[in-house]
Amino acid sequence: MEKPVINYESLVRITRSISMIRDPEEVVLISVEGVTNALKVKGCTLFLFDKKSDVLSLAGSYGLSREYLDKGPVSALRSISSSLEGGHPVAIYDVNDDPRLQYPDAALKEGIASILSVPIIIGERTIGCLRVYTADPWEFGHNDVNFVQAVAQVVGMALELCRVNKGYKESIDILRAMRDPRTLKSTKRTPYEGVPKSFSKEEMAQSGT
C-alpha cells in the first residue's frame, strides 16, 4: 500500500474542527474519522482507560464493524498493555503473530493486518489510547507515529477542556441559582448598619438627666 504524505494541513484541519466544539462525543468522533481519512487506513478507535477495573472502554470508532467492536471487554492488561504502561506508542506489524493482542482471531476476521496504539496523556495521567488499524501490513514510520501522537495530544486536551467546561458551567448554574432574586435571602448589611446613631439635642438632654 502506498502511504499518504502526512503534512501539517491534516493536523491543522483536525485541530481546528476539535477546537470549535465542546461536546466530548463529537471530539472523539471527529478525531477517529480524521485520523482514518488522513492516513487512508481501515479504521481508528479511541478507548478511555478505567483505572479501577483495568478496562478500556470504547469511546468512539470509525471504519470498523459492529461485530468487531462487540468482540468482548478490552483489558488494559492484555491488549497492547505496554502502550498504556510505558506511555509510548506501540506498533504491531502482524496481528496473526503477536502475543500482545487480546483478540487476534477477531482482528483477522475483521481484515486487520497491522495496529498502532498511541496513549492519550494529560499531564502525567494516561486516560486512554488512540488506535489505528490497517487492512494491509504496515510498517508505521516516524511521520505516522508523530501524526497520531499529535492528534492524541490534542484530543486529550480537548477532553480535559470539556470536563473543566462542564464543571465550570455547573458551578455557574449553582451561582445563578444562589443569586436568583426569587430565592435569594440577602445577608448583606446596608452601608449604614452598625454606624453610631446621631441624637437630637432633646434626646441628648434627656439622656443626661
Average pLDDT score over residue span 86-111: 93
Interatomic CA distance for residues 55 and 103, integer angstroms: 14
Average pLDDT, the chain: 81
Confidence bin at 189 (pLDDT 50/70/90): very low
- Length of the chain in residues, anyone? 209
What pLDDT was estimated at residue 163? 76
The domain 8-168 having CATH identifier 3.20.20.150: the answer here is no
Cell of 159: 477532553
Share of the chain above pLDDT 70, in %: 75
Confidence bin at 13 (pLDDT 50/70/90):
confident
DSSP string, 5-18: PP-HHHHHHHHHHH
**Comparing 3 with 55, which gets the higher pLDDT?**
55
No. of helices (H) and no. of strands (E), the chain: 7, 6
Confidence of residue 206 (pLDDT cuts 50, 70, 90): low
- Kindly report, residue by residue over 54-98, the tens digit of the pLDDT: 889 999 999 999 999 999 999 988 888 888 888 899 999 999 989
